[in-house]
Amino acid sequence: QVQLQESGPGLVRPSETLSLTCTVSDFSISSGYYWGWIRQPPGKGLEWIGSIYYSGFTYYSSSLKGRVTLSVDTSKNQFFLKLSPVTAADAAVYYCARSAYSGSYSFYKYWGQGTLVTVSS
Amino acid sequence: QSALTQPPSASGSPGQSVTISCTGSTSDVGGHDYVSWYQQHPGKAPKLMIYEVNKRPSGVPDRFSGSKSGNTASLTVSGLQAEDEADYYCSSYADSNNLLFGGGTKLAVL
């Protein structure tokens, strides 16, 4: 069973950089599949941020493109999210997830528990 | 690109069927068969219930089914059970390598 765990600062100051790590257990990132980030502002709906293939190929949300960078470290079995600069609108629960199958980043079967990020000075 | 449109709420009694709609455009729902549905209970991560319009991942009861007509996708839950009460989100691949979500529908089991 694939397990994912988000980690990173729970508080980020406006105009600074949000950095999160997703650590994957019981499955090797190098085995393939897409690895994604999805966020959910408190009380609101889901928003796709972007996805990265194990090889490092990336897809980004058109609404966040230019502020988002995804990367992967297969040796540590981790992938990463950087979002900069942040505003109050970026406050959300951030989820990392693995695609349902290796051929598409459109569906996510395995999810982390989510981590709440607050943006405040 | 705008989010997909879902009704904010839906409801049904135990044993009944309920259908939730998800309306997009020819750039997303209508133009691709990469539509999915997620169930989310309060404080929990979303769970994939349907992918590629009408396919169920292993472990998802066959009471959940998906379909699509034109620019609108639908999720039908048959034989409603108390544990089906949750938020449901649709998602679709969209042109220019984008992935869109709907605003979510809160399903109440009366």
Task: For A1-28, write each residue's pLDDT tens digit.
Answer: 899 999 999 999 999 999 999 999 999 9
Query: Which tens digit of pLDDT belongs to each residue from B30-69?
Result: 999 999 999 999 999 999 999 999 999 999 999 999 999 9
Query: Length of chain B in residues, anyone?
Result: 110
Q: Supply B33's token pair.
A: 């068969």
Over residues A92-109, the pLDDT tens digits come to 999 999 999 888 999 999
Of A45, A62, A97, the CB nearest to B96: A62
Q: Is A15 left (phi over 0), alpha (psi -120 to 50) or beta?
A: left
* DSSP secondary structure letter of residue A78: E
Count of CB contacts below 8 A, A vs B? 61
Q: Rounded to a whole number, what is the distance in Å from the CA of B91 to chain A's nearest CA?
A: 8
The Cα–Cα gap between A5 and A104 comes to: 22
Rounded to a whole number of angstroms, the distance from the CA of B79 to the nearest CA of chain A is 24
Q: What distance in Å separates the CA atoms of residue B46 and residue B104, rounded to the nearest whole number? A: 11
Of all residues in chain B, the one with the smallest CA distance to A36 is B99
Q: How confident is the model at residue B72 (pLDDT cuts 50, 70, 90)?
A: very high
Name every chain A residue with its beta carbon within 8 A of the beta carbon of B96: 62
Cα–Cα distance for residue pair A84/A49, rounded to 1 Å:
13
Q: Nearest-5° angle of CA A59, CA A62, CA A64?
A: 95
Residue of B99, B100, B101, B106 to mutate, interface with A, max A Cβ within 10 Å: B99
| C-alpha distances in Å from residue A9, one per residue of A23, A78, B59, B66 | 15, 16, 34, 38
Q: Which helix or strand (DSSP H or E) is residue A81 part of?
A: strand A78-83
Question: Above 80 in pLDDT, residue B99?
Answer: yes
Nearest by Cα to B89 from B39, B45, B17:
B39
From B51, which residue of chain A is nearest by alpha-carbon distance?
A: A107
Amino acid at B87: D
pLDDT at B82: 97
Cβ within 8 Å, pair B34-A104:
yes
* A109 touches A35 (CB < 8 A): no
Tokens of B59: 């472990």
Measure B42 CA to nearest chain A CA, in Å.
10
Separation of alpha carbons B32 and A89, rounded Å: 30
Enumerate the residues of chain A whose CB falls inside 8 A of the CB of residue B20.
none
Per-residue pLDDT of A72-96, as tens digits, reads 999 999 999 999 999 999 999 999 9
Tell me, rounded to whole angstroms, the distance of Cα A33 from its chain centroid: 14
* DSSP letter (8 states) at residue A64: T
Q: Is A90 helix (H, G, I), strand (E, B) or coil?
A: helix
Residue B1 has pLDDT above 70, yes or no: no
Each residue's pLDDT tens digit, A21-58? 999 999 999 998 999 999 999 999 999 999 999 899 99
Tell me how far CA of residue B20 lies from CA of A115, B17, B37, B64, B102, in angstroms.
29, 10, 10, 11, 11
CA distance A54 to A104: 12
